[in-house]
Amino acid sequence: MSEASRRIADALPNSWVERLLPHAALPYAQLMRLDRPIGWWLLLLPCWWGLLLAHIQLGDARPNLYYGLLFFLGAIIMRGAGCTGNDLVDRDIDAQVARTRNRPIPSGRVSPRAATLFIIAQALFGLLILLQFNHFTVWLAIASLLIVAVYPFMKRITYWPQLVLGLAFNWGALVGWTSLTGTLSLAPILLYAGGVMWTLAYDTIYAHQDKEDDALI
């Protein structure tokens, strides 16, 4: 397969995943968007915000670096799982959009079955990370999977899929708080609401890249 056929239009050319990973691993790294860390930063920051807010509330000046590291790893893995799931659901649409037609699934480099197994593997790894927290946090994080599961379908029934993405991407604000407190209160809920509005803004800008193709589809 040529270099051009492996390159995705909105990915950085000659990224570290293209240079360092073997060809067999490259499409899975592209499914996870490992070459584009902005996505997991946007997932990670609300987790750290919630964790920091809980530290302030509890009057504890010592940051919990272990929890911070768990959130870091979890954000990378679950963002990867979410992107893989989104690409799996949208594979027929992505094949018709110039920016996305070379993604691993619509280009045929990863089969739908392989993508499904990859999602399961990422979810299991994410579960291992999640089980390091208290029971309330575990169940709260699991509850977010409902929003994550419905998000890929929202663009088919609403002009506001960004709002649903915001509900999913900022759930970490609640989880970060409960990882230390074991309960919810008004402060993390307000933080969560602010994060949702933030996502609504940046993802609306991002969505405008495809508006011509979207209108045709």
pLDDT digits (tens, 9 = 90+) for 160-183: 888 999 999 999 999 999 999 999
pLDDT of residue 5: 47
| CB 104 within 8 Å of CB 30 | yes
Q: How confident is the model at residue 152 (pLDDT cuts 50, 70, 90)?
A: confident
Q: How confident is the model at residue 90 (pLDDT cuts 50, 70, 90)?
A: confident
Dihedral sign, Cα of residue 149, residue 32, residue 197, residue 60? positive
Token pair belonging to 210: 């495809």
pLDDT of residue 19: 85
Helix, strand, coil distribution of the chain in percent, nearest 5: 70, 0, 30
Q: Residue 207: is its pLDDT beyond 50?
A: yes
Q: How confident is the model at residue 93 (pLDDT cuts 50, 70, 90)?
A: confident
Kindly give the interhelix angle for 65-89 and 135-154, rounded to the nearest 10 degrees: 30
209 DSSP 8-state letter = G
Helix, coil or strand: residue 154:
helix
Q: Residue 11: is its pLDDT beyond 50?
A: yes
| CB 17 within 8 Å of CB 26 | yes
Helix, coil or strand: residue 135:
helix
- Is the pLDDT higher at 160 or at 72? 72
**Sequence-distant (≥ 6) Cβ neighbours of residue 144 within 8 angstroms:** 168, 171, 175
Cα separation, 30 vs 11, whole angstroms: 9
Q: What is the mean pLDDT of residues 118-123?
A: 96
Cα separation, 201 vs 155, whole angstroms: 16
Cα dihedral 200→161→33→26 (10° resolution)? -170
Q: What is the mean pLDDT of residues 82-108?
A: 87
pLDDT of residue 100: 82
| Structure-token match 């000046």, residue found | 61
